Structure 1
């Protein structure tokens, strides 16, 4: 079973990327489960065609003290993809990372992953929080991919995530599989991301150019794979899933000092 986690700065396109990769894997005949590890509860929206009607924490609150089943937590999405949202507290109330811990413990107890081929975790990029580090710290995910644009703060977040991966890699099997470039039309963006990945000791496994087609599909609450299967941009996501499937380049990353990162960005920004 492939155990994949996508990390990256908030708003960088992790959920969009994750949903498209899940859809592509399902088209390859794989049994896929996508788990949204974000209190916003929006990771699986494009697969379900709506916001998930309930999260693991929602069900825990309602059925507290009663027997839960896997069916209480799973929503069936496009092409049979299992969709699960961890959930979390209301904004400003409690620890956002708690939902991930509770959700993954509950799913493990219910043997949620016994009959799937691919589990994909869509995780917030704040690896400082213990909750958000759970997928890599506890070994739920073994293949980490960082989604980043060529913008400085996105690269800064990616570099910090690499530090977290480096820390936890010493404890188990987790490794960095590569950087997924999500284009924002930054000058020399693909070249910058390629150089950034090399400095981390990994690869730019894909560069997804910016496309209005993705936005149009999202308005209709679908992935491009479902909405426009013949679109050029669709093939970028299909190829990304194939490259992840056969990827053998896994590494313990070598993060940079912030000053080094600034120098690198400046080289490609002139």
Structure 2
């Protein structure tokens, strides 16, 4: 079982990349779980035909109790991907990071991995703040590999640097390691050069170069991943190539 955490600045497109990677892996016959670790709880929406999923924290607020089965907090999406969203607290109240930790503990109690026996688990994690619960996939053994999503924009690279540095600080503890960078192009000046400089500074490979594509927007308007909507498009082929690279490791 491969356990991969995808980190990146909010709004950088990591949910789009994660769900398309999940779709590409599923098309190739792999059993995939995607866990959205963002208070917005929108990581898996394009795997689910545009339907929002009841988050774990949302369930607990609504029913004032923990769910007793996986079926109450999960749904099958495109290619059979099992989708779960941690969600977050009521805005202005509580800590979103604690919500992630509470969700992970609950999934252990429900024996998620033992029951599903997945080939790949993808965690889609907000990377603006790498502390507390947001660092749980790195620190607590839930993920083995980290992929960092960035563009050539200044704040995206700033967040990417914080993520890489945080993982490096855990290096001597046997926690997850950064396996590489995913360039999600925004077509800013010197974009490739800037991302290459960042990757070199941290001695990381650029594992994927995702072109800016109208096909992604067209797919998301229909509640779909681009891998489902236009599997032969160049941007979809980039996701299939990334999936193949991950499976070869």
Please give the TM-score of this superposition, normalised by the length of structure 1: 0.87
8 Å Cα contact 1:181/1:208 also seen in 2? yes
Partner of 2:127: 125
- Within 2, Cα distance between the matches of 1:144 and 1:66? 29
Deviation at 1:90, TM superposition (A): 2.5
1:66 deviates by 6.6
Looking at structure 1, the residues matched to 122 and 66 of structure 2 have their Cα atoms a distance apart, in angstroms, of: 28
Matches of 2:128 and 2:113, distance apart in 1:
25
Aligned mates of 1:157, 1:169 — CA distance in 2: 19
Q: Does 1:86 align with 2:86?
A: yes
Q: Where does 1:233-252 land on structure 2 (aligned, <5 Å)? A: 233-247=235-249
User: Contact 1:38/1:124 (CA < 8 Å) preserved in 2?
Assistant: yes
- The one of 168, 171, 175 aligned to 1:169: 171
Give the match for residue 149 of structure 2.
147
For residue 201 of structure 1, what is the aligned residue in structure 2?
A: 203
Cα 1:191–1:243 shift into 2, 3 Å: farther
Query: Aligned with 1:113: secondary structure?
Result: helix
**Contact 1:33–1:120 (CA<8 Å) still a contact in 2?**
yes
* Cα drift, residue 222 of structure 1: 0.4
Describe the SS at the equivalent of 1:170. helix
Q: Which protein is bigger by CA-based radius of gyration?
A: 1
Structure 2 unmatched runs, 5+: none
2:193 paired residue number: 191
What is the Cα deviation at residue 245 of structure 1? 2.2
Shift of 1:141: 0.5
| Matched residue SS, 1:206 | strand
- Distance change (3 Å), C-alpha of 1:49 and 1:67: closer
Matches within 5 A, 1:252-263: none
User: CA–CA distance in 2 between the matches of 1:62 and 1:83?
Assistant: 20
Deviation beyond 6 Å, 4+ runs, structure 1: none
Q: Which of residues 212, 217, 220 in structure 2 aligns to 1:218?
A: 220
Aligned residue pairs, count: 247
Distance, in Å, in 2 between the alignment partners of 1:65 and 1:237 is: 39
2:22 matched to which residue of 1? 22
Task: Kindly indicate whether the alpha-carbon contact (under 8 Å) linking 2:207 and 2:242 is maintained by their aligned counterparts in 1.
Answer: yes
Partner of 2:232: 230
Partner SS for 2:219: helix
